[in-house]
A = this chain, B = another copy of it.
Amino acid sequence: MCELLGMSANVPTDIVFSFSGLMQRGGRTGPHRDGWGIGFYEGRGLRLFQDPAASSESEVAQLVQRYPIKSEVVIGHIRQANVGRVRLANTHPFVRELWGRNWCFAHNGQLAGFSPPAGFYRPVGDTDSEAAFCDLLNRLRAAFPEPVEPEQCLPVLVEACQGYRALGVFNMLVSNGDWLFCYCSTKLVHITRRAPFGPARLKDLEMVVDFQAETTPNDVVTVIATEALTDNETWHPYLPGQWALWRQGECLAQGSSE
């Protein structure tokens, strides 16, 4: 299994704090030694850092922790391999261009006997996760040859996720840099931080941040993860089958596929 990290915010926000906690699970406080990756949107551009090495030992991960990249949408992942060997091509998040935007995807779980029809988007590596991402985009493109608003994509997204979930475990984050969609199959939590901000203390590392000092009163920052990253705040768990669509830190739509 793997760990997911997503962020949606209404101002460019530094994710270093949450990322620092997550990275400890890559070999130190967790067993996820088989690579990690994180994508930061910068406008329509996407900055992707990845490494098939354990995150707690990765030089690139140290750079990311030193280098305070601010972003409105972030998707991160650390991996414990189950399907597909440990190599860069199998490292999340995966990226494809659809409708002139960079789509970024990360998955926690595994799918049994998943063999979608060949389509336009094809996996580069051999994970079930990348195959599901390609299938998802192939379905969207088949339904909508031209760009549509995220709300219009929802029925296709949710139906596809239900189908993947029926094959195993499918906790997932996907974004086009504007909005962020999350789907819970077994475990996923979120927290929305807004004024008044308080201090937060990481579970996995001796580290506290006072968000009061780092933010302005109008900031809204939602963080989504497979497990709570802090131990002094309330994270809201999703139920199996629940999904949500986020933009600028706020929930645009949510529902359950049950």
User: Is A120's beta carbon under 8 Å from chain B?
Assistant: yes
28 sample A-B contacts, Cβ–Cβ < 8 Å, listed by A number: A42-B87, A42-B88, A42-B89, A43-B88, A44-B87, A44-B124, A44-B125, A45-B50, A45-B52, A45-B87, A45-B90, A45-B125, A46-B88, A47-B50, A47-B88, A48-B48, A60-B63, A60-B67, A63-B63, A95-B95, A96-B97, A97-B121, A97-B122, A97-B124, A99-B122, A100-B122, A102-B124, A120-B120
Give chain B residues whose Cβ lies under 8 Å from the Cβ of A60: 63, 67
Closest Cβ of chain B to A39, distance in Å, is 11
- Asked if residues B87 and A43 are in contact (CB atoms below 8 Å), the reply is yes
Give the interface centre of A48, A50, A52, A89 by most chain B CB atoms within 10 Å: A89
Interchain CA distance A209-B245 in the complex, whole Å:
53
Whether A101 sits at the interface, judged by CB under 8 Å, is yes
Q: For the complex formed by this chain, how many copies does it contain in all?
A: 2
Q: If A87-B43, A88-B45, A91-B45 touch, does A101 touch B124 (CB 8 Å cutoff)?
A: yes
Question: Contact residue range for chain A?
Answer: 20 to 34
Nearest opposing residue in chain B for A63, CB measure = B63
| Distance between Cα atoms of A110 and B89 in the complex (Å) | 32
User: B residues within 8 A CB of A96?
Assistant: 97
A14: shortest Cβ distance to chain B, in Å?
15
Give the dominant DSSP class at A's interface: mixed
State A126–B92 Cα separation when bound (angstroms). 27
Taking the nearest CB of chain B, how far is it from the CB of A138, in angstroms? 12
* Inter-chain contacts of A101 with B (CB < 8 A): 124
* Min C-beta distance of A255 to chain B, whole Å: 29
Per-residue contact bits, chain A 78-91, to B (CB 8 Å; 1 contact, 0 not): 00000000011111
Nearest residue (CB) in B for A44 is B89
Give bound CA distance, A102 to B50, whole Å.
15
Q: Is the CB of A45 within 8 A of B102?
A: no
Interface residues of A in 3-53 (CB under 8 A from B): 42-48, 50, 52
A180 CB → nearest B CB, Å: 17
Contact of A93 with B by CB under 8 A: no
- A45 & B89 in contact (Cβ 8 Å cutoff): yes
- Which B residues lie within 8 Å of A63 (CB)? 60, 63
